[in-house]
Amino acid sequence: MCTDCGCSITDYEDKSEHEHEYAHSHSHGNESEKHQAAHETLSHNPQLNDTKTISIIKKILDKNDHEASHNRAHFDNHGVLGINLMSSPGSGKTTLLENISDMVDFKFSVVEGDLETSRDADRLKAKGIDAVQIQTGSACHLDAFMVHKGLHDIKLSDIDVCFIENVGNLVCPASYDVGTHLNIVLVSVPEGEDKIIKYPVMFRTADLILITKTDLLPHFEYDVEKEKKEARKLKPNVDILEVNIKDKASLQRVIDWIEFKRKMR
């Protein structure tokens, strides 16, 4: 895990403010909701017991929040809907974007986040999708500063939607506001039906949950309705769709949801 966030935080006091310009936050809602994920990290991490460390982390959070607001203003000024795609590795984020690219009426670009390689961005470019790769190195998430850098290579005036495909991780990305308007979280059938209950912060941030690879349901013990109930215990009004890449109708429902949100802005 990275040293920028609460997953590895023992030496925050000893590092300079410049080294920790990235911050924990939550991308939606009022100020108390905005820091919910960060506060959960602070209250449940036994390494964070002294006021000095907590004070430093709060400063870091504020810096990322400021940059995230700057990113959102960029999107707003160009009439672009920003969507943060989050999931564990292999849940199908890149595959989803590849498969909807030929079906959508709106134009979109992608800021692609991975620790190393440009493989996912290359896949998207091969489909004719404008994509910018951000290699995070040791960081297990994207943050507002990384996304801001990526946006410099995207012509926002030419698109309607910008997807931020976050690093595959069900923990840290949930706590970082990258400046988008919406969060879509994917969870795949092969991952098992314990992910929502084990990673509540991630699913609490979701505006839409996609249960992917449903064509594999005959091969796994996975109760879709049970998982929907678990998700709605965390966030009663969250939208949930089942996705099978081989089923164009399921992809169209995702597209329709995005179109609805875009027209509501």
Give the model's pLDDT for residue 18: 37
Cα separation, 134 vs 108, in Å, equals 17
Rounded (10°) angle between helices 93-100 and 119-126: 10
Give the model's pLDDT for residue 153: 95
Count of other CB atoms within 10 angstroms of residue 137: 7
Phi/psi at 8 (nearest 5 deg)? -155, 90
Residue 92 makes CB contacts below 8 A (sequence gap 6+) with 186, 188, 212, 213, 243, 245
- Amino acid code (one letter) for 108: F
Give the model's pLDDT for residue 78: 97
Give the model's pLDDT for residue 3: 53
> From first to last of its 265 residues, what are the pLDDT tens digits of the chain?
455 555 544 333 333 333 333 333 334 444 444 455 555 554 445 455 567 777 777 777 789 889 999 999 999 999 999 999 999 999 999 999 999 999 999 999 999 999 999 999 999 999 999 999 999 887 889 999 999 999 999 999 999 999 999 999 999 898 889 999 999 999 999 999 999 999 999 999 999 999 999 999 999 999 999 999 999 999 999 999 999 999 999 999 999 999 999 999 8
Cα separation, 236 vs 201, in Å, equals 14
